[in-house]
A = this chain, B = another copy of it.
Amino acid sequence: MSGFHGLFIPGPTNMPFPVRQAMDLPLEDQRAPDFPAFTLPLFRDLKKVFRTESGQIFLFPSSGTGGWEAAITNTLSPGDKVLIAVFGQFSHLWADLCRRHGFDVDVLDVAWGEGFPLDACEARLKADRAHEIKAVLVCHNETATGVTSDVGGVRRALEAARHPALLMVDGVSSIASIDFRMDEWGVDIAVCGSQKGFMLPTGLAIVGVSQKALDAHKTAKCPRGFFDFTMMGNANKDGFFPYTPATTLLRGLRASVDMLLGEGLDNVAARHHRLAEGARAGVAAWGLSLCAKAPKWYSDTVTAICVPKGFNSDDVIKTAYHRYQLSLGLGLTKVAGKVFRIGHIGHVNEIMILQALAGCEMALRDVGIDVAPGSGVAAAQEHYRETAPRMELPKVA
């Protein structure tokens, strides 16, 4: 088909051209004498993106799911109790992974569309006088429902309960896009993947680990090999890897980190917020409701939208895909058929969001959902115009 396909799923995301260019190179020797001159500064700068000074970054040729597995198998022992709140498909899957690895999984079950239940968590922690709970697992941004939770609040709950459990965060669709502060929030393990805010192809689990988690690792008894922190860390400290790393992605990651730090993490987060506000203004203009139940939970990286009763969101998505070359996110499991999602994470700008909204409007109307043509676009436009930065004129070098 003619023209560019619009990719508006909440990951994989749109790759910037500098990132593509950085990866369009031959393969290289991962044991070359000058390889550490490349990798050591990369590890150092990744810590800036995670906003940690004392933590350590691990890079596995894997995905976010692999990052989840690395987090729990490196720091816990079979039978350990973990506390996790489930309020969407990805928090559900992480809980499931814990069960597969033989943990005692204590689930805080929350309605999909809500976020992490701080009060219930605090109550559960306070009740756990024996400190049987070894880790609290938080999905920072639930990609399935477009819900962002308060990770700092979880740290405060742990402090209020004076509870020593590790705080593990799924930051797959938040780190490098939404505001994330590993040290300030006392996050012990932060899991990210390459294909979201880092704007890269899938293939890297990027995991931040605190000193406290590294201490826990020393006595953790889960079997592990591929994802072992010790084996990886021993090689990493000299700038190498214990097995062949995905050098192509590492070169792209360098370009991505340069872009993120060049823009500034606060600016990155502000941009995501401003763009997401436009998307939400568009949904409001359509008269449709979000899956996220309250503004405090609105995600700045993905907007999940409910279709009216009697309609199937899959029809919207298939129509957008086949007729208008627009990829939208599916409704998953519990919200299958009820929700479609617009991803606005990573390399995005105003005219891209407007394109997504315009395409959605056509698909919604095609399947019979009566939104006014151009209404969402108009609402987003006015938001962007009002909040546009003052225009800077280019200077000649």
Report which A residues bind B (CB closer than 8 A).
1-7, 9, 11-17, 20-22, 24-34, 36-37, 40-41, 61-66, 68-69, 78, 93, 96-97, 100-102, 193, 195, 201-203, 222-228, 239, 242-249, 263, 271, 318-319, 321-327, 329-330, 347-352, 354-355, 358-359, 361-362, 365-366, 372-379, 381-382, 384-385, 388-389, 391-397
In whole Å, how far is A204's beta carbon from the nearest beta carbon of chain B? 8
Complex Cα–Cα for A22 and B227 (A): 30
A-B CB contact pairs (8 Å), 19 listed: A11-B244, A12-B247, A15-B27, A21-B22, A27-B202, A29-B327, A31-B330, A33-B393, A36-B396, A61-B63, A102-B223, A201-B246, A202-B245, A202-B246, A324-B388, A355-B355, A358-B377, A366-B388, A375-B378
Which of chain B's residues have a CB closer than 8 A to the CB of A249?
Answer: 201, 203
Known A201-B249, A374-B377; further 13 A-B contacts with Cβ < 8 A? A2-B347, A4-B352, A17-B24, A30-B202, A36-B396, A65-B225, A97-B226, A350-B362, A358-B381, A373-B382, A374-B374, A374-B376, A377-B378
Copies of this protein in the complex: 4
Interchain CB contact under 8 A, B31 and A9: yes
Q: Which residue of B lies closest to A392 (CB)?
A: B322
A226-B62 in contact given A362-B385, A396-B36 (Cβ < 8 Å): yes
In whole Å, how far is A155's beta carbon from the nearest beta carbon of chain B? 26
Which of chain B's residues have a CB closer than 8 A to the CB of A323?
Answer: 388-389, 391
Complex Cα–Cα for A13 and B13 (A): 24
Interchain CB contact under 8 A, A78 and B223: yes
- The residue that A327 contacts in the complex, of B32, B65, B376, with Cβ under 8 A, is B32
In whole Å, how far is A275's beta carbon from the nearest beta carbon of chain B? 9
A27-B201 in contact given A223-B222, A243-B63 (Cβ < 8 Å): yes
Which of chain B's residues have a CB closer than 8 A to the CB of A391?
Answer: 318-319, 322-323
Interchain CB contact under 8 A, B394 and A33: yes
Interchain CB contact under 8 A, B11 and A3: no
Complex Cα–Cα for A361 and B381 (A): 8
